[in-house]
A and B are shown apart, each in its own frame.
Chain A
Amino acid sequence: MFAGYSAGELTAIFAMQGFAGLILFSVFVLMALGLAIIFGQMGVINMAHGEFMILGAYVTYLVSNTFATHLPDLFSIYFFVAMALAFLASGALGMLVEWGLIRHLYRRPLDTLLATWGLSLILQQIYRSVFGAREVGVTVPNWMMGSLPLTDMIEVPINGLFVMALAVGISVAIYALMFRSRWGRQVRAINQNRVMAGAVGINTERTDRLTFGIGCGIAGVAGSAFTMIGSTGPTSGQLYIVDTFLVVVFGGAGSILGTIASAFTISQAQSVLEFFLSGSMAKVITLLVVVGILMLRPQGLFALKLRK
């Protein structure tokens, strides 16, 4: 397939393809981090993860409209406000859901699957009633669209760079929270042994609520960022849920590092295969490989040793 191309063209295309892989990696990391916390640390199978993302996307839509009508001068920076609000909105909804629904189901992890699936349907219908069945178009500030021409051939999409920076930023923040903060220590303690953690005086209920809220908040930020690259509609969240679980399960539930490693592996495999094969075949092969590896290593790439 490379006959008739000059070395320069090939270099350029491989460089661009490298960026494409990194962008996909960043997207996967953003999608999966929130779920990695909720599923990995709390054992809740949150099927409504996509809907929390879309809540963030709708918040972005509302903020962009507000800025366009009331503060047109500041439109170019509205995205940062939108991401902050998306985090708060999804986080608040997450904490509400934890209080009303999830906390009654901690002893029945499989039931969380059904309950959150129901929740996802309810949220979808709410979005449909409030925002209409049609997708909404979120106007992204001009500076975030378009690309940086590095050379004649190599062009790097700016929104891709933005997603990458965001993925790195959130990963670092989560790492700091999990391993350098009091909250993180409590979460890890509860994850290892809930009863003992309670016995030494950790308020497990409050920690759970906060953890669920932070996981959902991160989903909201991811949804906000994805308005740059994808659609915002009542059912758009469903587009992400399969890939998200794939990344988290493949990485090994419970390990944030595993999630990042698995996002890297899957995104690179998919991106390279998509380049050489067709889109559908790339997906099939990626899924087959993941299934194969999980058969050999059911605990995922990175598994924590837990006392259960």
Chain B
Amino acid sequence: MTDFSKPKTPGMSRRAVLAGGAALTASLFAPRGLRAQDFPTAAVNTTGLAVTDSTVTIGILHSVTGTMAISETGSVQAEKLAIEQINAMGGVLGRKIQFIQEDGASDWPTFAEKARKLLVNDKVASVMGCWTSASRKAVLPVFEQHNGMLYYPTFYEGLEQSPNVIYTGQEATQQIIAGLDWVNQTKGAKSFYLLGSDYIWPRTSNKIARKHIENFMEGCEVVGEEYYPLGHTQFNSVINKIKLRKPDVIYAIVVGGSNVAFYKQLKAAGIDPTKESPIVLTISVTEDEIRGIGGENVEGSYACMKYFQSLDNPNNIEFVKAFKDMWGADMVIGDVTQAAYLGPWLWKAAVEAAGSFDIDKVREASPGIELPTAPEGYVKIHENHHLWSKTRVGRARMDGQYDVVFETADLVEPNPFPEGYQ
């Protein structure tokens, strides 16, 4: 069972928390209910991080203003939930987590500046943050220079592996390959039309998709591939092209406001995803995005993710309930929100395995850290700092949720530098 129980009254005494913790089933983590006095601050913090006898401070660095606020809000909420739950269980090495939240304001230089502030001035022990690849690339030199630890939640294009980042989302091959194989094997799809917004993630992802379709899927072909500027709202021409080429699958990696325009115009042009001719398969539409697009417009299309809110396992049922209790019953939880939730838990597990908050020791302890309580099921940190996780395909419903129609039998190994796909 999970450890996600959280006290309803924030002002509970420490003893009550510990008693509550003891009543829970045996932990699947390293020792729980750890007492701070068993881990003297001088021993667990040799590098001057913001750790006291009773608290440890971490940073949250996301955009809560600007364009990206739409996407990043869910991550902030998930991270705060995880922190609250960890604190309710007694914290990390007996220390309560405090957090300092900074706003990246959807602006990449601001992200770098705030990251420097968190690491240099606040001496935070880790940072949960970033969403776009651009913001991660902007903070990366800061984290490497000042030896910080970033937990990055978004599925992304791969081609990166930093000692200072733990990637809790999927890299591209984890998200793409299993979905393509599935649509080929169960739906008999042979021809694919690749479509994307014009920046690095859709382009790299489609490159991997194309290589896989052409080199590893027998008799399959790509009949079109193209990109539209971010924020593009007119897709009628490309929809006509798609109708002319008659692909079996429209593989769409459209993001942001364009998504809404794309699906509405697709439907208006008579391509109804529920009829599966062609099949619409995407890796960019989570439950979060559907709220803006409207369930009636995406109904019937497929998404390839590692997590869906509708996953039926005890971890997830508790997670969804806790999330809604904290943030409201009308909240939806997308893939990235769940990945963001893993960040604080993976950090806690690594710190306790290392018996220290020191970044170098946490890094050393990280590979092999397991999280059997993850809402998506079991995950494990790979040597390359990405997570082993399953790939799933869901089919969008009218109400904006997904029915899970497929999941890989085993965990998929993360492979940020895939050979043969470059």
Contacts and interface: CB of A to CB of B under 8 A. Distances in A.
A27 B236 CA distance: 12
Given A24-B234, A153-B243, A235-B67, 16 more contacts: A17-B237, A133-B70, A135-B70, A135-B260, A139-B294, A155-B269, A157-B269, A228-B264, A229-B234, A230-B261, A271-B236, A275-B237, A279-B198, A279-B228, A279-B238, A280-B198
Contacts of B73: 133-134
Interface in A1-51: 5, 9, 13, 16-17, 19-20, 23-24, 27
A238 B231 contact: yes
B227 A229 contact: no
B233 A146 contact: no
Interface stretch (B24-32, B285-293, B338-346): B285-293
Interface string B211-255: 000000000000000111101111011111101100000000000
Interface residues of A, number: 51
Nearest to A236: B257
Given A139-B296, A279-B229, A13 B243 contact: yes
Interface residues of B, number: 45
A128 interface: yes
Interface string A267-280: 00011001100111
A147 B261 contact: no
A239 interface: yes
B236 A230 contact: no
A146 B227 contact: no
B229 A283 contact: yes
B322 interface: no
A274 B238 contact: yes
Contact of B270 (A20, A134, A149): A149
Contacts of B64: 133
Contacts of A234: 69
Interface string A202-245: 00000000000000000000000010111111111011100000
A231 B244 contact: no
A231 B412 CA distance: 35
B65 interface: yes
A262 interface: no
B337 interface: no
A13 B238 contact: no
24 contacts: A9-B244, A13-B244, A17-B237, A20-B236, A20-B240, A23-B234, A27-B234, A135-B293, A137-B291, A137-B295, A145-B267, A145-B296, A229-B264, A231-B292, A232-B260, A232-B292, A233-B292, A235-B67, A238-B231, A274-B238, A278-B226, A279-B227, A280-B198, A280-B227
Interface string B279-303: 0000000001011111111000000
Given A13-B244, A271-B237, A233 B268 contact: no
B240 A16 contact: yes
Nearest to A1: B244
B259 interface: yes
A137 B257 CA distance: 11
Contacts of A159: 264, 268
Interface string A124-142: 0100100001111111000
Contacts of B295: 137
A158 interface: yes
Contact of B259 (A133, A160, A231, A240): A231
Nearest to A158: B268
B384 interface: no
Given A125-B65, A134-B288, A275 B240 contact: yes
Interface string B345-370: 00000000000000000000000000
A240 B234 CA distance: 11
A149 B271 CA distance: 12
B265 interface: yes
Contacts of B267: 145-146
A275 B241 contact: yes
B268 A137 contact: no
Contact of A231 (B241, B243, B260): B260
B356 to A, nearest CB: 38
Contacts of A16: 240, 243
A23 B236 contact: yes
Interface in B113-160: none
Contacts of B69: 128, 133, 234
A244 to B, nearest CB: 12
A135 B228 contact: no
Interface in A184-199: none
Q: Choose among A5, A27, A160, A278 the residue with the greatest number of B CB atoms under 10 Å from its CB.
A: A278
B240 A17 contact: yes
Nearest to B224: A278
Contacts of B291: 134-137
Contacts of A235: 66-67, 257
Contacts of B226: 278-280
A134 B233 CA distance: 17
B269 A274 contact: no
Interface in A134-188: 134-139, 145-147, 149, 153, 155, 157-160
Given A125-B65, A147-B269, A233-B70, A134 B292 contact: yes
Nearest to B195: A279
A136 B288 CA distance: 11
A271 B241 CA distance: 11
Nearest to A128: B69
B292 A136 contact: yes
A67 to B, nearest CB: 16
Nearest to A18: B240
Contacts of B232: 239, 279, 283
A153 B65 CA distance: 45
A307 B268 CA distance: 48
